[in-house]
Amino acid sequence: MQGKRQDVAKNVILFLGDGMSIPTVAATRMYIGGEEELLSFDKFPYTGLSKTYCVDHQTADSACSATAYLGGVKGNLGTIGVSAAVGKKNCTAMNLKENEVDSIARLFQLKGKRTGLVTTTRVTHASPAGVYAHTAYRRWESDSAVLKSENDPKECRDIAYQLIFGETGRNLQVILGGGRKNFIPKEEEDEEGKPGARSDHMNLLVDWTKQKERLGLKYEYVSNREQLLNVKHDTEYMLVLSFLIGGGIG
């Protein structure tokens, strides 16, 4: 039997099953065959456990837990990519650089590595947003959501905006998931004839393409399966967005 490899990994892929607590995984084993049944990841050579509580709540949500497993720092319930010095909906604290928590994606970028995120929910949802966002409230997925909470979108930059213009977000080579409406203004429709959600008249999809053009990068914006299957092999940056209304846990 070949021994375990101990050399340095070329690539790192983090798979996250949102809501997969120990009881949930145990229930899955029992459902498919009993307590002694093995799931694919049960066969891995190593196992680790983490405590996922928030600083201010015993039961975590997808926001503070994303900050913990992607940034190594615990935050408050509902906050993403910031330390516990930032309370929910506190824009002032959110904008202080010393309160930002860099994700593992940002750390890899600083090392010159390529990074990306792929999700079955909205790319602006709390779990994937932990890769790139720094926000005092997980629900601020578009500027309209910031306005709804009676805050200034120019002071509290929404999560979609941060994905396109933020230091980590704009450097992601692959972005694939749902939530397209958060990038399109209300007065416009997407490729499926569905209206956007933004109130600031900004089309962030257009901004993304212009951003890559200015830098002379090879990019593709993809909105359907056919386009995805025909992405050019030399594409450097890829943004894949579907409409996708719901999805995600916590």
Active-site hit among 21, 40, 50, 62: 62
Q: What is the sign, positive or negative, of the torsion defined by CA atoms of 10, 241, 70, 173?
A: positive
Residue 164: Cβ within 10 Å count: 19
Rounded Cα–Cα distance for residues 227 and 241 (Å): 11
Reply yes or no on whether 62 is catalytic. yes
Measured between alpha carbons, how far is 21 from 28 in angstroms, rounded to an integer? 11
127 is in an annotated binding site: yes
115 Cβ neighbours under 8 A, 6+ residues apart = 105, 108, 109, 131, 168, 171, 172, 173, 174
Which residue numbers belong to the known binding site? 18, 125, 127
Which residue numbers belong to the known binding site for Mg(2+)? 18, 125, 127
Q: Report, as residue numbers or ranges, the catalytic residues.
A: 62
